[in-house]
């Protein structure tokens, strides 16, 4: 049964560093739109060492947690159950705390990526390219396992990273080929390019954007637009941004934690855009 608007419930985002997180803005906007006046959402600076004690100290008023780095894997042994989606990439970004005291781990990054792409009209692609090979790249591969019918080429900086991406491909049943970062300009001609790299890492690629680019999904949202995204838009290509991902994964978190569906996507997006504009 969905909670009543007057129920006092708590949720929060945990991670380190955490001061930059937009999650409080998005979740609070959702609570306002849903009329959940008794709900609160905070942020806590928590690292791996502090995580078990924090979880053990939560009372019955807690409904859920959002997790960012470096906690997405560290939390797994502390869960009573994790979803198949979370297990597929060994990463939990959402914890639902049930009334009977169970901790349920889930991953909304992967379906959030799929939902963000679908919102921009990307239902299926016959091939794709990934820039980078970190934790977000494995989530991108998992998302592509749902929408990509052919080969995914991952552009990476080391053979160790290349081996990791090939292993993820086998695990997720995605046809993955790896290529050297020095050849990353070739990625820009793919039907879908997913950039999972830190700020500044793709700036040098902006000059190589083709005249008729297809779709770029850049997971960054601050600073925005990235040089690559700005150039992509200038040439008429479709761009899916990090805020799109952040909002769609937060929508799923709100639905899981509150029991209310659908979550107010547009209210959450507007709140995120306003917060970023003020930075």
Is residue 274 part of the annotated active site? The answer reads no
What's the alpha-carbon Rg for the chain, to the nearest Å? 19
Alpha carbon distance 156, 179 (integer Å): 6
Alpha carbon distance 103, 111 (integer Å): 20
Q: Kindly write down the DSSP assignment for every residue of 173-221, as one continuous string.
A: T--EEEEEGGGGGGGGGSSEEEE-PPTTTTGGGGGG--SS--EEEE---
User: CB of 69 within 8 A of CB of 37?
Assistant: no
Residue 160 token pair: 């160790």
Catalytic site residue from 9, 10, 27, 72: 72
Hey, which residues are catalytic here?
A: 72
């Amino acid at each position: 049964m969905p909670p009543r608007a007057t129920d006092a419930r708590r949720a929060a985002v945990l991670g380190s560093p955490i001061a930059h997180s937009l999650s409080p803005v998005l979740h609070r906007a959702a609570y306002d739109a849903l009329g959940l006046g008794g709900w609160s959402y905070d942020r806590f600076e928590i690292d791996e060492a502090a995580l078990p004690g924090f979880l053990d100290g939560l009372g019955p008023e807690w409904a859920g947690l959002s997790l960012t780095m470096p906690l997405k894997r560290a939390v797994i042994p502390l869960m009573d159950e994790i979803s198949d989606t979370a297990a597929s990439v060994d990463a939990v970004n959402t914890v639902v705390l049930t009334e009977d005291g169970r901790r349920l781990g889930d991953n909304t990054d992967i379906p959030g990526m799929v939902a963000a792409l679908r919102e921009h009209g990307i239902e299926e692609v016959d091939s794709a390219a990934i820039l980078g090979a970190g934790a977000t790249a494995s989530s991108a591969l998992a998302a592509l396992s749902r929408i990509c019918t052919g080969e995914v080429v991952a552009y990476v900086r080391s053979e160790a990273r290349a081996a990791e991406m090939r292993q993820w491909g086998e695990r997720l049943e995605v046809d993955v080929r790896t290529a050297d970062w020095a050849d990353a300009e070739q990625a820009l001609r793919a039907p879908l390019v997913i950039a999972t790299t830190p700020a500044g890492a793709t700036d040098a690629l902006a000059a190589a954007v083709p005249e008729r680019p297809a779709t770029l999904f850049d997971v960054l949202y601050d600073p925005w637009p990235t040089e690559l995204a700005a150039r992509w838009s200038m040439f008429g290509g479709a761009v899916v941004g990090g805020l799109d991902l952040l909002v769609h994964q937060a929508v799923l978190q709100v639905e899981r934690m509150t029991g209310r569906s659908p979550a107010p996507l547009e209210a959450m997006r507007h709140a995120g855009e306003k917060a970023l504009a003020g930075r």
